[in-house]
Chain A
């Protein structure tokens, strides 16, 4: 997709750190394994997951995720308190330290995707745009699948 790789960026980490805004490839931010859980029947909200790898020399902060397929996307984390209660806490900023990965995964951090413009089903591919604090955006594609995908042959 729009996410292109330029080798020059790898050789120029210092320049990359000084200049902003930059394209994703120049900052060595990688997004992979993005997927969206198909919503069960009658449910209007989807959960999405992905991994961000930050191979740049500085901390990057994810501040927003958008998609042409949804009217609103929020970042949440599922928190289990000591008494066993789960609650969802909205996250406005997701810092990804230099050289580290951040994982959105089931039961932990997740995207909440509201009001799909049309029903999405397993096999669909949904574009997501990740917005970082310093003006960087990264485009990725999330595959839609069942949360218990081993169940499909039932």
Chain B
């Protein structure tokens, strides 16, 4: 099949460059300290951005029911954020089914103040209706976030999420390269951790429980 090589969407590229800069910030924020004693001062939890988590700034997106979704909707609960697009055949369904398992495990443990957000990086195709059908397929409680390109950027830009459209085929199909990490935002709207792919439900679950416990000790 002939593929027409299209230049990468300039906006996405700029976004990617900004994100790269932020990505460096991420990696330097990782903590790999020894096992903590007593009420932990220095966490031994992999990938925990502590003591300087990034405060998420106000943003405005639209959820899959058409309601506004901004910083306020992150507050009061733990949020798992994953960025992708509905026409992504492999990594997105895999990750969403892992997050579905995590949510169900948490529910069984009586932990219900969590939410999973699927943020599209392909607003052109991922309309509100498309997102609604898509996220509900994986878990009826999942929230899909979309809106205009600018609205999505108000969230992805500050979180360092990379997205760039790839080659467009003759029939108009295209793929989007995107960050495969799952981000964790705490109930105070702070980016607290990042889970790198490949994702495994038990690993995300146990690290989340460790982080949650650690944060409870801090307050």
Contact = CB atoms under 8 A, between A and B. Distances in A.
A46 B133 contact: no
B173 A42 contact: no
Interface stretch (A11-19, A27-35, A50-58, A77-85): A77-85
A45 B100 contact: no
Given A80-B197, A147-B94, A86 B177 contact: yes
A102 interface: no
A62 B173 CA distance: 25
Contacts of A148: 97, 100-101, 138
Contact of B162 (A37, A39, A42, A85): A85
A151 B7 CA distance: 40
Interface stretch (B29-37, B48-56, B83-91, B145-153): B83-91
A119 interface: no
Interface residues of A, number: 31
A47 interface: yes
B198 A47 contact: no
A39 B133 CA distance: 11
B10 interface: no
B178 to A, nearest CB: 6
Contacts of B89: 37, 39, 43, 45-47, 110, 112
Contacts, number: 96
A40 B137 contact: yes
A80 B100 CA distance: 21
A74 interface: yes
A83 B94 contact: no
A83 B1 contact: no
B197 A114 contact: no
B138 to A, nearest CB: 7
B20 interface: yes
Contacts of B137: 40-41
A74 B94 CA distance: 19
B180 interface: yes
A45 B91 CA distance: 13
Contacts of B134: 40-43
A44 interface: yes
B91 A107 contact: yes
B86 A37 contact: no
A22 interface: no
A147 B91 CA distance: 11
Interface in A76-124: 76, 78, 80, 83-88, 106-107, 110, 112, 114-115
Contacts of B136: 41
9 contacts: A41-B133, A42-B129, A43-B134, A44-B87, A47-B93, A83-B179, A84-B197, A87-B166, A107-B90
Interface of A: 37, 39-47, 72, 74, 76, 78, 80, 83-88, 106-107, 110, 112, 114-115, 147-148, 150-151
Interface of B: 1, 20, 23, 86-87, 89-91, 93-94, 97, 100-101, 129-130, 133-134, 136-139, 162, 166, 171, 173, 175, 177-181, 194, 196-199
